[in-house]
Amino acid sequence: MDRKVLILGAGCFGVSTAFHLLKRGFKDVTIIERSGNFPAKDASSNDINRIVRTSYSDPFYAKLAKEAIQSWREDKDIWEDSYHESGVLVVLGTSDYANEAYLNDKQQGLRIKEFSQTSDIHENFPLLSLSNSETTAYLNYDGGWVDAGRATFLLTKKVVSLGAKLILGKRATRLIRKDGNTEAVELDDGTIVEASLVVTAAGPWTPSILPELGYEDTSVATGQCVAMVQLSAEEAAQYRGVPVILDFGAAFYCFPPTDENVVKFAIHAPGITHTVGKVSVPRTVITHPNDGLFIPKTYAQRLRDGLAAVYPDLAKKEFSNTRLCWYNDSPDGDWIIGRHSTDQSIMFATGGSGHAFKFLPVIGSLVADAIQGTLDPSLERKFAFKRDITHVDGSRDGIGMVREELNVDELWGPKK
Protein backbone atom coordinates (compact mmCIF):
# COMPACT_ATOMS: atom_id res chain seq x y z
CA MET A 1 0.00 0.00 0.00
CA ASP A 2 1.78 3.16 -1.20
CA ARG A 3 -0.92 5.70 -0.30
CA LYS A 4 0.22 8.55 1.94
CA VAL A 5 -2.15 8.67 4.90
CA LEU A 6 -2.04 11.67 7.24
CA ILE A 7 -3.91 11.34 10.54
CA LEU A 8 -4.77 14.48 12.51
CA GLY A 9 -4.83 13.53 16.19
CA ALA A 10 -3.09 10.87 18.27
CA GLY A 11 -6.03 9.90 20.45
CA CYS A 12 -8.22 6.81 20.44
CA PHE A 13 -9.44 7.05 16.83
CA GLY A 14 -6.17 8.28 15.36
CA VAL A 15 -3.79 5.80 16.95
CA SER A 16 -6.12 2.82 16.49
CA THR A 17 -6.59 3.74 12.82
CA ALA A 18 -2.83 3.92 12.31
CA PHE A 19 -2.41 0.53 13.98
CA HIS A 20 -4.93 -1.23 11.76
CA LEU A 21 -3.71 0.42 8.56
CA LEU A 22 -0.14 -0.65 9.30
CA LYS A 23 -1.30 -4.19 10.05
CA ARG A 24 -2.99 -4.24 6.64
CA GLY A 25 0.17 -3.30 4.81
CA PHE A 26 -0.01 0.50 4.56
CA LYS A 27 3.56 1.81 4.53
CA ASP A 28 3.26 5.60 4.72
CA VAL A 29 1.25 6.64 7.79
CA THR A 30 1.91 9.93 9.60
CA ILE A 31 0.18 11.16 12.75
CA ILE A 32 0.11 14.88 13.58
CA GLU A 33 -0.47 15.65 17.28
CA ARG A 34 -1.03 19.21 18.49
CA SER A 35 0.53 18.57 21.91
CA GLY A 36 4.28 18.62 22.37
CA ASN A 37 3.88 16.19 25.25
CA PHE A 38 2.32 12.82 24.64
CA PRO A 39 -0.32 11.80 25.45
CA ALA A 40 -1.77 15.33 25.50
CA LYS A 41 -2.61 16.14 29.09
CA ASP A 42 -6.01 17.62 28.17
CA ALA A 43 -7.11 14.81 25.84
CA SER A 44 -9.98 12.53 26.77
CA SER A 45 -7.80 9.58 25.80
CA ASN A 46 -5.30 10.57 28.50
CA ASP A 47 -7.07 9.73 31.74
CA ILE A 48 -6.55 7.48 34.73
CA ASN A 49 -9.42 5.23 33.70
CA ARG A 50 -12.21 4.55 31.25
CA ILE A 51 -15.08 2.09 31.60
CA VAL A 52 -14.85 -1.11 29.56
CA ARG A 53 -18.39 -2.47 29.19
CA THR A 54 -20.43 -4.58 26.82
CA SER A 55 -23.64 -3.18 28.33
CA TYR A 56 -25.19 -1.37 25.36
CA SER A 57 -28.78 -1.10 24.21
CA ASP A 58 -27.49 -1.31 20.62
CA PRO A 59 -26.43 -4.91 19.81
CA PHE A 60 -23.76 -3.66 17.40
CA TYR A 61 -21.78 -1.90 20.13
CA ALA A 62 -22.37 -4.76 22.57
CA LYS A 63 -20.81 -7.27 20.17
CA LEU A 64 -17.95 -4.97 19.21
CA ALA A 65 -17.17 -4.36 22.89
CA LYS A 66 -16.93 -8.10 23.41
CA GLU A 67 -14.32 -8.23 20.65
CA ALA A 68 -12.41 -5.34 22.21
CA ILE A 69 -12.40 -7.02 25.63
CA GLN A 70 -10.87 -10.13 24.09
CA SER A 71 -7.96 -7.97 22.92
CA TRP A 72 -7.65 -6.16 26.26
CA ARG A 73 -7.36 -9.55 27.94
CA GLU A 74 -5.20 -11.44 25.48
CA ASP A 75 -2.91 -8.97 23.69
CA LYS A 76 -0.60 -8.38 26.64
CA ASP A 77 2.27 -7.66 24.27
CA ILE A 78 0.45 -4.39 23.51
CA TRP A 79 -1.65 -3.54 26.56
CA GLU A 80 0.53 -5.01 29.32
CA ASP A 81 -1.37 -4.49 32.60
CA SER A 82 -3.50 -1.48 31.57
CA TYR A 83 -6.81 -3.41 31.64
CA HIS A 84 -8.45 -4.29 34.98
CA GLU A 85 -11.36 -6.73 34.89
CA SER A 86 -13.17 -5.53 38.01
CA GLY A 87 -16.62 -6.20 36.57
CA VAL A 88 -19.29 -3.56 35.94
CA LEU A 89 -22.37 -3.27 38.15
CA VAL A 90 -25.20 -1.86 36.01
CA VAL A 91 -28.15 -0.40 37.92
CA LEU A 92 -31.53 -1.36 36.46
CA GLY A 93 -35.10 -0.19 36.83
CA THR A 94 -34.84 3.53 36.07
CA SER A 95 -33.40 3.37 32.55
CA ASP A 96 -34.78 1.68 29.44
CA TYR A 97 -31.25 1.81 28.07
CA ALA A 98 -29.90 -0.27 30.98
CA ASN A 99 -32.73 -2.77 30.73
CA GLU A 100 -32.07 -3.27 27.01
CA ALA A 101 -28.35 -3.57 27.69
CA TYR A 102 -29.07 -6.32 30.20
CA LEU A 103 -30.97 -8.31 27.56
CA ASN A 104 -28.12 -7.89 25.07
CA ASP A 105 -25.55 -9.04 27.62
CA LYS A 106 -27.63 -12.12 28.40
CA GLN A 107 -28.03 -12.88 24.69
CA GLN A 108 -24.26 -12.73 24.24
CA GLY A 109 -23.80 -15.33 26.95
CA LEU A 110 -21.67 -13.11 29.15
CA ARG A 111 -20.90 -13.87 32.77
CA ILE A 112 -23.71 -12.13 34.65
CA LYS A 113 -24.96 -12.15 38.21
CA GLU A 114 -28.42 -10.68 38.82
CA PHE A 115 -29.50 -8.83 41.97
CA SER A 116 -33.27 -8.65 42.38
CA GLN A 117 -33.20 -6.37 45.42
CA THR A 118 -30.87 -3.95 47.16
CA SER A 119 -30.19 -6.31 50.05
CA ASP A 120 -28.66 -8.79 47.60
CA ILE A 121 -26.28 -6.10 46.38
CA HIS A 122 -25.32 -5.15 49.94
CA GLU A 123 -24.65 -8.78 50.77
CA ASN A 124 -22.13 -9.01 47.94
CA PHE A 125 -20.71 -5.49 48.27
CA PRO A 126 -21.13 -4.29 51.89
CA LEU A 127 -19.47 -0.92 51.24
CA LEU A 128 -21.94 -0.08 48.47
CA SER A 129 -24.95 1.97 49.57
CA LEU A 130 -27.31 2.42 46.58
CA SER A 131 -29.78 4.27 48.80
CA ASN A 132 -32.82 3.48 46.65
CA SER A 133 -34.47 0.55 48.45
CA GLU A 134 -36.04 -0.65 45.19
CA THR A 135 -32.77 -0.89 43.28
CA THR A 136 -32.11 -3.90 41.09
CA ALA A 137 -28.89 -4.44 39.20
CA TYR A 138 -26.67 -6.93 37.46
CA LEU A 139 -22.95 -7.52 37.66
CA ASN A 140 -21.25 -8.14 34.33
CA TYR A 141 -17.99 -9.87 35.13
CA ASP A 142 -16.83 -9.42 31.53
CA GLY A 143 -15.74 -5.82 31.85
CA GLY A 144 -14.09 -3.31 34.11
CA TRP A 145 -11.81 -0.39 33.38
CA VAL A 146 -8.64 0.54 31.53
CA ASP A 147 -5.88 3.02 32.33
CA ALA A 148 -6.59 5.18 29.29
CA GLY A 149 -3.43 7.27 29.28
CA ARG A 150 -1.23 4.21 29.59
CA ALA A 151 -3.12 2.28 26.91
CA THR A 152 -2.88 5.22 24.48
CA PHE A 153 0.85 5.48 25.11
CA LEU A 154 1.38 1.74 24.65
CA LEU A 155 -0.52 1.55 21.36
CA THR A 156 1.28 4.63 20.06
CA LYS A 157 4.60 3.01 20.90
CA LYS A 158 3.42 -0.03 18.95
CA VAL A 159 2.42 1.94 15.83
CA VAL A 160 5.74 3.78 15.81
CA SER A 161 7.53 0.43 16.00
CA LEU A 162 5.45 -0.68 13.00
CA GLY A 163 6.66 2.29 10.97
CA ALA A 164 4.28 5.19 11.64
CA LYS A 165 5.72 8.70 11.82
CA LEU A 166 4.58 10.72 14.86
CA ILE A 167 4.95 14.51 14.67
CA LEU A 168 4.33 16.23 18.02
CA GLY A 169 3.60 19.87 18.81
CA LYS A 170 2.13 20.76 15.40
CA ARG A 171 -1.36 21.80 14.34
CA ALA A 172 -3.10 21.61 10.99
CA THR A 173 -4.13 25.10 9.90
CA ARG A 174 -5.11 24.79 6.24
CA LEU A 175 -6.08 22.23 3.66
CA ILE A 176 -4.38 22.51 0.28
CA ARG A 177 -6.74 21.36 -2.45
CA LYS A 178 -6.64 20.64 -6.14
CA ASP A 179 -9.78 20.06 -8.19
CA GLY A 180 -11.84 19.89 -4.99
CA ASN A 181 -9.77 17.22 -3.25
CA THR A 182 -7.20 17.70 -0.52
CA GLU A 183 -3.63 16.85 -1.51
CA ALA A 184 -1.70 18.38 1.40
CA VAL A 185 -2.08 20.00 4.81
CA GLU A 186 -0.28 23.10 6.02
CA LEU A 187 0.87 23.06 9.65
CA ASP A 188 1.15 26.00 12.02
CA ASP A 189 4.90 26.33 11.38
CA GLY A 190 4.35 26.57 7.62
CA THR A 191 5.36 22.99 6.88
CA ILE A 192 3.45 21.37 4.02
CA VAL A 193 2.66 17.68 4.49
CA GLU A 194 1.47 15.89 1.37
CA ALA A 195 -1.16 13.18 1.65
CA SER A 196 -3.47 11.23 -0.61
CA LEU A 197 -5.85 10.81 2.34
CA VAL A 198 -6.32 12.95 5.45
CA VAL A 199 -8.02 11.32 8.44
CA THR A 200 -9.41 13.91 10.84
CA ALA A 201 -9.36 12.31 14.28
CA ALA A 202 -8.99 15.34 16.52
CA GLY A 203 -11.79 14.47 18.94
CA PRO A 204 -13.55 17.53 20.40
CA TRP A 205 -11.21 19.84 18.49
CA THR A 206 -12.44 18.46 15.15
CA PRO A 207 -15.29 20.98 14.63
CA SER A 208 -12.99 23.96 15.24
CA ILE A 209 -9.60 23.15 13.69
CA LEU A 210 -10.65 23.15 10.02
CA PRO A 211 -13.91 25.12 9.77
CA GLU A 212 -13.89 24.89 5.97
CA LEU A 213 -15.00 21.26 6.31
CA GLY A 214 -18.45 22.38 7.46
CA TYR A 215 -18.29 20.09 10.44
CA GLU A 216 -19.87 22.33 13.07
CA ASP A 217 -23.45 21.19 12.39
CA THR A 218 -22.52 17.50 12.60
CA SER A 219 -21.26 17.21 16.18
CA VAL A 220 -20.42 19.36 19.18
CA ALA A 221 -17.62 19.49 21.74
CA THR A 222 -18.99 18.95 25.24
CA GLY A 223 -17.33 18.93 28.64
CA GLN A 224 -18.25 16.22 31.13
CA CYS A 225 -17.73 16.83 34.85
CA VAL A 226 -15.35 14.53 36.70
CA ALA A 227 -13.99 14.51 40.25
CA MET A 228 -11.59 12.39 42.28
CA VAL A 229 -10.86 11.62 45.92
CA GLN A 230 -7.55 10.41 47.28
CA LEU A 231 -7.72 7.36 49.55
CA SER A 232 -5.18 6.19 52.07
CA ALA A 233 -3.61 2.79 51.49
CA GLU A 234 -5.87 1.35 54.20
CA GLU A 235 -9.01 2.85 52.65
CA ALA A 236 -8.04 1.70 49.17
CA ALA A 237 -7.57 -1.85 50.42
CA GLN A 238 -11.20 -1.83 51.57
CA TYR A 239 -12.53 -0.68 48.19
CA ARG A 240 -10.08 -2.52 45.95
CA GLY A 241 -12.48 -5.36 45.14
CA VAL A 242 -15.52 -3.29 44.15
CA PRO A 243 -16.73 -3.18 40.52
CA VAL A 244 -17.29 -0.16 38.33
CA ILE A 245 -20.70 1.31 39.27
CA LEU A 246 -22.77 2.46 36.28
CA ASP A 247 -26.19 4.04 36.82
CA PHE A 248 -27.61 5.41 33.56
CA GLY A 249 -30.80 6.57 35.29
CA ALA A 250 -28.87 8.71 37.76
CA ALA A 251 -26.33 9.73 35.08
CA PHE A 252 -23.51 8.71 37.42
CA TYR A 253 -20.62 6.27 37.41
CA CYS A 254 -17.76 5.46 39.76
CA PHE A 255 -14.55 3.43 39.56
CA PRO A 256 -12.64 1.23 41.98
CA PRO A 257 -9.39 2.71 43.34
CA THR A 258 -6.43 2.96 40.97
CA ASP A 259 -2.98 1.71 41.88
CA GLU A 260 -2.36 5.23 43.22
CA ASN A 261 -5.45 4.86 45.48
CA VAL A 262 -7.54 7.42 43.58
CA VAL A 263 -11.30 6.96 43.15
CA LYS A 264 -12.75 8.77 40.14
CA PHE A 265 -16.44 9.43 39.61
CA ALA A 266 -18.33 11.35 36.96
CA ILE A 267 -21.61 12.53 35.52
CA HIS A 268 -22.77 10.90 32.27
CA ALA A 269 -25.04 13.56 30.79
CA PRO A 270 -25.47 15.75 27.67
CA GLY A 271 -22.60 17.89 28.95
CA ILE A 272 -21.47 21.50 28.86
CA THR A 273 -20.54 23.58 25.82
CA HIS A 274 -18.01 26.41 25.56
CA THR A 275 -19.03 28.41 22.51
CA VAL A 276 -16.46 30.53 20.70
CA GLY A 277 -17.93 32.09 17.57
CA LYS A 278 -20.15 29.42 16.03
CA VAL A 279 -18.68 26.28 17.59
CA SER A 280 -18.03 24.80 21.01
CA VAL A 281 -14.30 24.69 21.75
CA PRO A 282 -12.65 22.76 24.60
CA ARG A 283 -11.59 24.91 27.54
CA THR A 284 -8.77 22.97 29.17
CA VAL A 285 -5.75 23.17 31.44
CA ILE A 286 -3.63 23.95 28.36
CA THR A 287 -5.73 26.91 27.20
CA HIS A 288 -6.49 28.09 30.76
CA PRO A 289 -3.73 26.89 33.13
CA ASN A 290 -5.23 28.49 36.24
CA ASP A 291 -8.76 27.10 36.11
CA GLY A 292 -8.89 24.78 33.09
CA LEU A 293 -9.55 21.79 35.35
CA PHE A 294 -12.35 23.47 37.30
CA ILE A 295 -16.03 22.50 36.98
CA PRO A 296 -19.27 24.42 37.68
CA LYS A 297 -20.19 24.59 41.38
CA THR A 298 -23.58 22.99 40.78
CA TYR A 299 -21.93 19.98 39.17
CA ALA A 300 -19.47 19.66 42.03
CA GLN A 301 -22.44 19.25 44.35
CA ARG A 302 -24.10 16.78 41.97
CA LEU A 303 -20.93 14.73 41.98
CA ARG A 304 -20.76 14.73 45.76
CA ASP A 305 -24.43 13.74 45.99
CA GLY A 306 -23.86 10.95 43.47
CA LEU A 307 -20.90 9.62 45.42
CA ALA A 308 -22.87 9.84 48.68
CA ALA A 309 -25.56 7.62 47.18
CA VAL A 310 -22.95 4.99 46.34
CA TYR A 311 -20.15 5.28 48.92
CA PRO A 312 -21.28 7.63 51.75
CA ASP A 313 -17.95 7.54 53.59
CA LEU A 314 -15.98 8.56 50.51
CA ALA A 315 -18.38 11.46 49.86
CA LYS A 316 -17.18 13.05 53.11
CA LYS A 317 -13.66 13.41 51.74
CA GLU A 318 -12.33 16.52 50.04
CA PHE A 319 -12.05 16.34 46.26
CA SER A 320 -8.42 15.89 45.25
CA ASN A 321 -9.01 16.87 41.61
CA THR A 322 -11.73 17.91 39.19
CA ARG A 323 -11.83 18.02 35.42
CA LEU A 324 -13.98 18.92 32.46
CA CYS A 325 -13.34 15.97 30.16
CA TRP A 326 -14.10 16.98 26.58
CA TYR A 327 -15.94 14.71 24.14
CA ASN A 328 -17.02 15.15 20.54
CA ASP A 329 -20.73 14.29 20.63
CA SER A 330 -22.86 13.35 17.66
CA PRO A 331 -26.64 13.91 17.98
CA ASP A 332 -27.41 10.18 18.08
CA GLY A 333 -24.35 8.91 19.94
CA ASP A 334 -23.11 6.99 16.89
CA TRP A 335 -19.58 7.62 15.70
CA ILE A 336 -18.65 9.54 12.57
CA ILE A 337 -16.57 7.33 10.30
CA GLY A 338 -16.70 8.12 6.61
CA ARG A 339 -15.61 10.39 3.82
CA HIS A 340 -16.46 14.05 3.51
CA SER A 341 -19.52 14.56 1.34
CA THR A 342 -17.67 16.65 -1.28
CA ASP A 343 -13.95 16.05 -0.62
CA GLN A 344 -13.20 12.35 -1.00
CA SER A 345 -9.64 12.84 0.27
CA ILE A 346 -10.98 13.63 3.74
CA MET A 347 -11.97 10.78 6.05
CA PHE A 348 -13.62 11.45 9.41
CA ALA A 349 -12.86 9.28 12.42
CA THR A 350 -14.45 11.04 15.35
CA GLY A 351 -17.74 11.60 17.19
CA GLY A 352 -16.74 9.31 20.05
CA SER A 353 -19.69 10.63 22.07
CA GLY A 354 -18.18 9.58 25.37
CA HIS A 355 -18.09 5.86 24.70
CA ALA A 356 -15.31 5.17 22.18
CA PHE A 357 -12.24 4.50 24.29
CA LYS A 358 -13.13 0.96 25.36
CA PHE A 359 -12.98 0.12 21.63
CA LEU A 360 -9.37 1.30 21.25
CA PRO A 361 -8.19 -2.19 20.18
CA VAL A 362 -10.76 -2.48 17.37
CA ILE A 363 -12.23 0.90 16.41
CA GLY A 364 -9.46 1.59 13.91
CA SER A 365 -10.46 -1.53 12.02
CA LEU A 366 -13.76 0.15 11.15
CA VAL A 367 -11.93 3.23 9.89
CA ALA A 368 -9.55 1.06 7.87
CA ASP A 369 -12.56 -0.71 6.35
CA ALA A 370 -14.03 2.67 5.39
CA ILE A 371 -10.73 3.73 3.84
CA GLN A 372 -10.51 0.52 1.81
CA GLY A 373 -14.17 0.60 0.80
CA THR A 374 -15.09 -2.61 2.62
CA LEU A 375 -17.16 -1.21 5.49
CA ASP A 376 -20.55 -2.91 5.76
CA PRO A 377 -23.19 -0.73 3.99
CA SER A 378 -25.34 -0.64 7.12
CA LEU A 379 -22.38 0.77 9.07
CA GLU A 380 -21.63 3.24 6.27
CA ARG A 381 -25.11 4.66 6.84
CA LYS A 382 -24.85 4.46 10.63
CA PHE A 383 -21.55 6.38 10.75
CA ALA A 384 -21.97 8.69 7.74
CA PHE A 385 -20.65 12.26 8.00
CA LYS A 386 -24.04 13.56 6.87
CA ARG A 387 -26.91 11.30 7.95
CA ASP A 388 -30.52 11.38 9.03
CA ILE A 389 -30.80 11.47 12.81
CA THR A 390 -33.46 8.94 13.82
CA HIS A 391 -32.69 8.54 17.53
CA VAL A 392 -30.84 10.13 20.44
CA ASP A 393 -28.13 8.76 22.71
CA GLY A 394 -30.24 6.72 25.12
CA SER A 395 -27.44 6.46 27.67
CA ARG A 396 -27.64 10.24 28.24
CA ASP A 397 -31.33 10.86 27.72
CA GLY A 398 -32.68 10.70 31.28
CA ILE A 399 -35.17 12.98 32.96
CA GLY A 400 -33.83 16.50 33.43
CA MET A 401 -30.75 15.91 31.28
CA VAL A 402 -30.09 19.01 29.20
CA ARG A 403 -26.95 20.47 27.65
CA GLU A 404 -25.75 23.70 29.24
CA GLU A 405 -23.41 26.51 28.26
CA LEU A 406 -20.37 26.95 30.49
CA ASN A 407 -20.49 29.94 32.84
CA VAL A 408 -16.88 30.65 33.76
CA ASP A 409 -18.00 32.75 36.73
CA GLU A 410 -19.42 29.59 38.32
CA LEU A 411 -16.27 27.47 38.10
CA TRP A 412 -14.97 25.69 41.17
CA GLY A 413 -11.97 23.53 41.94
CA PRO A 414 -10.36 21.97 45.00
CA LYS A 415 -7.83 23.97 46.96
CA LYS A 416 -4.25 22.86 46.42
Query: Where is pLDDT greater, at 121 or 68?
Result: 68
326 contacts 389 by C-beta, under 8 angstroms: no
How many structural domains are present in the chain? 1
Q: Is the pLDDT of residue 320 over 90?
A: yes
Q: Is the pLDDT of residue 400 over 70?
A: no
How would you label 212-225 residue by residue, b for 16+ Cβ within 10 Å and e otherwise?
ebebbebbbbbbbb
Closest residue by Cα to residue 10 from 36, 44, 39, 48: 39
Q: Is the pLDDT of residue 264 over 90?
A: yes
pLDDT digits (tens, 9 = 90+) for 278-300: 899 999 999 999 999 999 999 99
Q: Where are the alpha helices (DSSP H) in 42-95?
A: 59-74, 76-79
Domain membership flag for residue 50? yes
- Taken as a whole, the chain contains a residue count of 416
pLDDT digits (tens, 9 = 90+) for 150-204: 999 999 999 999 999 999 999 999 999 999 899 999 999 999 999 999 999 999 9
Report the half-sphere exposure of 343 (CA within 13 A, side-chain side): 23
pTM over 0.85: yes
User: Which range is least confidently modeled, 205-219, 235-249, 260-274, 322-336?
Assistant: 205-219
Alpha-carbon gap, residue 153 to 78, rounded angstroms: 10
Domain membership flag for residue 339? yes
Alpha-carbon gap, residue 239 to 245, rounded angstroms: 12
108 contacts 141 by C-beta, under 8 angstroms: no
Q: Sort strands 181-187 and 192-194 into parallel, antiparallel or unpaired.
A: antiparallel
Q: Is the pLDDT of residue 1 over 70?
A: no
Domain membership flag for residue 414? no
Average predicted confidence (pLDDT) for the chain: 94
Query: What number is the average pLDDT over the span 39-58?
Result: 96
CATH code assigned at 294: 3.50.50.60
pLDDT given at position 397 = 65
Q: What is the residue range of 246's domain?
A: 4-395
Query: Is cis: bond before 39, omega within 30 of 0?
Result: yes
Residues of the chain above pLDDT 90, percent: 84
Alpha-carbon gap, residue 33 to 171, rounded angstroms: 7
Q: Is the pLDDT of residue 131 over 80?
A: no
pLDDT digits (tens, 9 = 90+) for 51-75: 999 999 999 999 999 999 999 999 9
Question: Angle of helix 12-23 relative to helix 148-161, nearest 10 degrees?
Answer: 30
